[in-house]
Amino acid sequence: MNCYKCGTLLNSSNRSKEHIIPNFLGGRLTSNYLLCQKCNSEFGETIDKELNRQLGFAANIIVQERHREEGERVVLIQTTSGKKAKVGKKFMPKPKLYINLPTGEQIEIIGKNEVELKKLALKKKNELEKRFGEFKLTEFIEYPTSEKFHFENSTDLPAGVMEFGGKDYFRGIAKIILNFYLVKRPAVKPPPMLLDYVCGRLDRNQFLFIYHPVHYQIHELANGEFSHIIYLRGEKELQAIYCYVELFNFEKFICIIDDDYRGEDFTETYSCNSVNGDELQKKVNIELYRHHIEDMQYVSLSHRKQRERSLHDLEKRIERLQFTF
């Protein structure tokens, strides 16, 4: 077997243990036949790091909640940098503004709306000028989009911004899919666009990758369950291979990795408990038609709404956890 990123022949001295779903998210399924040590650590420093930055909080909340001391009633996020923050009613996407300091550093400010954001930025600038002297405030406001969302994660930390989305984030999700594909279908070449996208040779996301609008039940979620699901399917009639990925039951994507598939039908499902990594048996139900694939090119407002709703669901499930444990 060769490393799928650099092509080096894998042997006992250069191969590495790659987690299909990253370890920091609770993934336990691994393979020694995907990546060499060098490429594995390169991914670790780039796209895995981004996944951890954006989703590590969920792992931390859920695991922490289960080992929580009796009597506590506050949900705490412990971010990967060790910061602690409260959550609750905070998952509303908000605009973000950067302040460029004369030192070259950047400060992120998040506000309910543009007016509040500008007010906060001016206040912050005045404070900072006491330290750095006068500087010009160049405003760049970034609005939450279906590609990238920002959320405030704390009432105590002014710079507590959480993000979802962006290129490296999608590459991280695509790597989970590629890893799974290669483990389950080792004799078949992976779709080239997927491989190139994960390895950074394709800049734009040219295959179709979308947040899944859930208007029907994809699987049954047990009470208090937090899990990950990968469902890979090739359909002869649909002429497509697609993969559904669900992380912590709130990040939900469908990725069309081949829209001109001529092979036989196949299905591969993997699911695990995101707290202890135990494998779960899941029955997954996805209804996908050709017109869905064509529509996926147009990211609609409804996708964005679905994502917001999904985060609110997560928040509610976390609140519920406090009373069940």
Instruction: Please identify, using beta-carbon distances, which residue of 36 and 245 lies nearer to Zn ion.
Output: 36
Instruction: Please identify, using beta-carbon distances, which residue of 41 and 145 lies nearer to Zn ion.
Output: 41
Instruction: Report, in Å, the least distance between residue 8 CB and Zn ion.
Output: 5
Q: Could you tell me which stretch among 7-15, 71-79, 175-183, 215-223 binds Zn ion (CB under 5 A)?
A: 7-15
Task: Check binding of 6 to Zn ion (CB under 5 A).
Answer: yes
Q: Could you tell me which stretch among 2-10, 98-106, 173-181, 275-283 binds Zn ion (CB under 5 A)?
A: 2-10
**The three-state (H, E, C) secondary structure of 123-149, written as one string:** HHHHHHHHHHCCCCCCCEEECCCCCEE
CA-to-CA distance for 29 and 26, rounded, in angstroms?
10
- Which of 3, 173, 255, 272 is close enough to bind Zn ion by CB under 5 A? 3
Instruction: Please identify, using beta-carbon distances, which residue of 2 and 206 lies nearer to Zn ion.
Output: 2
**Span 17-56, contacts to Zn ion by CB under 5 A:** 36, 39
Instruction: Report, in Å, the least distance between residue 61 CB and Zn ion.
Output: 34
Cβ density class 154-186: b for 16+ within 10 Å, e for less = beeeeebbbbbbebbbbbbbbbbbbbbbbbbee
CA-to-CA distance for 123 and 31, rounded, in angstroms?
51
Instruction: Please identify, using beta-carbon distances, which residue of 99 and 199 lies nearer to Zn ion.
Output: 199
Amino acid at site 129: E
Instruction: Report, in Å, the least distance between residue 6 CB and Zn ion.
Output: 3
**The three-state (H, E, C) secondary structure of 243-284, written as one string:** EEEEECCCEEEEEEEECCCCCCCEEEEEEEECCCCCECCCCC
Instruction: Please identify, using beta-carbon distances, which residue of 36 and 173 lies nearer to Zn ion.
Output: 36
Task: Check binding of 228 to Zn ion (CB under 5 A).
Answer: no
CB 295 within 8 A of CB 303: no
> What's CA 1's distance to the chain center, in Å?
29
What separation, in Å, do the N-terminal and C-terminal C-alpha atoms of the chain show?
46
CB 87 within 8 A of CB 62: no
Task: Check binding of 15 to Zn ion (CB under 5 A).
Answer: no
Instruction: Please identify, using beta-carbon distances, which residue of 2 and 267 lies nearer to Zn ion.
Output: 2
Q: Could you tell me which stretch among 8-16, 26-34, 198-206, 304-312 binds Zn ion (CB under 5 A)?
A: 8-16
Size of the site for Zn ion (CB under 5 A): 6
Give the binding site for Zn ion (CB under 5 A): 3, 5-6, 8, 36, 39
